[in-house]
Amino acid sequence: MASSAAAAAYLDADENLEAIISRIEQKSRKIETLLKQSKPVEALKTALEGSPLKTRDERCKSANWIVVHRAMMAIRDVDGMFNSLDPEYYDILMKYLYRGLSTGDRPTCDQCLKIHEKLTEKAGLGCILRSLADTVNTV
């Protein structure tokens, strides 16, 4: 029963791909504004809000990854980030860290590993397990 409800949620979202892309574009503009104001943690929070997307469409997932990546790469003070980042964002951030590591891009991987280390210290191994075990809400 739960899996059919999850599938229905994905179907509804898949019918509204243009609306999802529009929300991602709005999010991107907001993040750019926050980054120009030197608020990278707020930008990251904004990027993570509403994630993971309830769609299986790779264009949407890739567009959202670009937004999260932009905010994540702007973080300079990883320790300070966790003083401001609410625990509700930890699991989804971990998912995006693994997506970043999968790119093979050296600067992205370096940043992801720095954040991963601090996130694991802060959230524990459970965060890693939840991220890897959740195969429904992929990023």
> For the chain, which residues make up each domain, given as ranges?
2-133
Quote the pLDDT of residue 3: 46
pLDDT along the chain (139 residues), means of 10: 47 69 95 98 95 84 96 96 93 97 97 98 95 88
Residues in CB range of 69: below 8 A, 6 or more apart: 96, 100, 108
3-state helix, strand, coil in the chain (%, to 5): 75, 0, 25
Quote the pLDDT of residue 136: 81
Quote the pLDDT of residue 72: 98
State residue 3 phi and psi, 5-degree precision: -70, -35
Span 2-133 CATH architecture: Alpha Horseshoe (1.25)
Q: Are 31 and 73 in contact (CB under 8 A)?
A: no
Token pair, residue 71, equals 């905010």
Residues 107, 64: Cα–Cα separation, whole Å: 19
